[in-house]
Amino acid sequence: MAATDAPTTDPAHEEVEHVPGEGDMWFFVLFESLVFTSYFCVYLYFRAQNEAAFLEAQSALDLPLGILDTIVLLTSSWAIARCIQHARAGRHQVARQLALVTVGLGALFSALKLVEWVRLIHEGHTFTSSDFMTYFFFLTGMCDDHTAELVLTADGAIENLVFVEELVASAPMIPGWRFTAHKEELNITSAKITMGKYTFDSQSLWFYSNDHSKYPDEVDITVIYRDFDENDKASVVNGVYIFLDNYLGELKSITNLDNVVVIGKDDATRELVPIEKLKSFLEWREKEFVEKYHEVIKDTHDMEHSVLEAETDTGGRMIAVINTTILNWEGKASHPWMLNIDIPYDGSNNGGLPEEDINQALWGLEDRIAAQLPNEKGYILVGHESADNLRTIHFACKDFRIPSKVVQQVSIDEPDWKIEYRIFKDKYWRSLNRFNPNDPI
């Protein structure tokens, strides 16, 4: 048994200059830039055809407000860039503060746009009042000629979904405005994604389900793409994920799929199912899963815990206190969301392990969180591990919303602990297999 590999440094590799980030992310950024550049080119073309009319309509805009919008936007970009720099340097408190500044500036920017759009609409400048206003509202966020839509997204971060939903639920009712939590699903005719030379739509995509006897409740699908290119696999896979996110909707894409593999038609081993049938397939699987596990609750109070000890890859000690009995439970799929809570501490004088006073305080934090995530509500404290100055607490959960709120509140109440957490789908708890001697896969 070993702790997570510590990062290694190759001195020769440090001298190599490279562009930060993943290649597919740069492709996405450049593609987005190209799209918006195209929009503005179209705007400039039609503006040149009727410059006087455009200038007259443009005079309705509030120049000082526009300048303030720009300053806020640029400052938020600077703040998040500095946040990343401080986080990489290990200055997490400063990084956290700058992240909050970025969020605040983003909210301020949205509020300023709200003020601007409401004023224009009340003055009679709508989506259809002039060609200039058509382009202005389109480029700045109107979803139709009567409604401006603001879509708030967690961008795939499961632990943030509930906060997006609560923010939208608390938004005031404003005529001409629509606030939406998460990207909504599209019908199959609207769900078309074009990325460079690739087009992802109902004509180019199929799927089939992969069944596993050991994991019968896992929703594992293979998506077949007509123009799959092994040499450009990252771009193709990214395009498929974006398509699924738009077609299924952000929430369903995250919660209903456990695993997705993307291949070409030549590699398919089963009958291809049209991609437009994916929604009904997922609805059937979700209904089946809910009927099977909805009322399943596991009482773990009388189960014994094992103390496990091992050497980490860095040569230090790792000690874990784990409910190894629950790891052999056949109903693990009923608690498909894994909550991992990371709490750093200073164990430099104890081989990376917490000293007694710190250990007692960590136990207190664990008990406090466990009291708010009880068995009878659908939460199982599996145990914790300590190594390399980090305590990680493992919970298995029936849902992801309440755990997010509980741990977020504890991290706010206990700022000195620098608590971080992540929630991910792990329907059969395979991330904990290293603690199970009966299933060491």
Q: What is the pLDDT of residues 258-286, one digit of tens each?
A: 999 999 999 999 999 999 999 999 999 99
Give me the pLDDT at residue 211, please: 92
352 or 180, greater pLDDT: 352
| pLDDT at residue 429 greater than cutoff 90 | yes
Q: Where in the chain is the domain with CATH 3.30.70.600?
A: 306-435
Q: What confidence category does residue 14 fall into, taking pLDDT thresholds of 50, 70 and 90?
A: very low
Q: What confidence category does residue 177 fall into, taking pLDDT thresholds of 50, 70 and 90?
A: low
Give me the pLDDT at residue 441, please: 47
Q: How far is CA 408 from CA 97, 403, 423, in A?
A: 15, 8, 12
Give me the pLDDT at residue 143, please: 52
Q: What confidence category does residue 16 fall into, taking pLDDT thresholds of 50, 70 and 90?
A: very low
User: Of 118-132, 225-239, 240-254, 325-339, which gets the smallest average pLDDT?
Assistant: 118-132
Give me the pLDDT at residue 295, please: 85
Residues 6+ apart with CB under 8 A from 142: 117, 127, 148, 149
328 or 5, greater pLDDT: 328
145 or 300, greater pLDDT: 300
| pLDDT at residue 335 greater than cutoff 90 | yes
Does domain 306-435 correspond to CATH entry 3.40.718.10?
no
105 or 85, greater pLDDT: 105
**Order of strands across the sheet with 273-274?**
259-264, 220-225, 205-210, 273-274
Rounded to an integer, what distance in angstroms lies between the CA atom of residue 398 and that of residue 380? Answer: 9
User: Of 75-84, 157-166, 415-424, which gets the smallest average pLDDT?
Assistant: 75-84
Residues 237-258: what's their mean pLDDT?
92
Give me the pLDDT at residue 149, please: 65
| pLDDT at residue 35 greater than cutoff 70 | no
CB 226 within 8 A of CB 204: yes
Give me the pLDDT at residue 5, please: 41
Give me the pLDDT at residue 7, please: 40
Phi, psi dihedral angles at 200 (to 5 degrees): -115, 110
Average pLDDT over the chain, rounded to an integer: 84
What percent of the chain is predicted at pLDDT more than 70? Answer: 85
Give me the pLDDT at residue 91, please: 72
Give me the pLDDT at residue 38, please: 72
Q: What confidence category does residue 416 fall into, taking pLDDT thresholds of 50, 70 and 90?
A: very high
Give me the pLDDT at residue 8, please: 42
| pLDDT at residue 88 greater than cutoff 90 | no
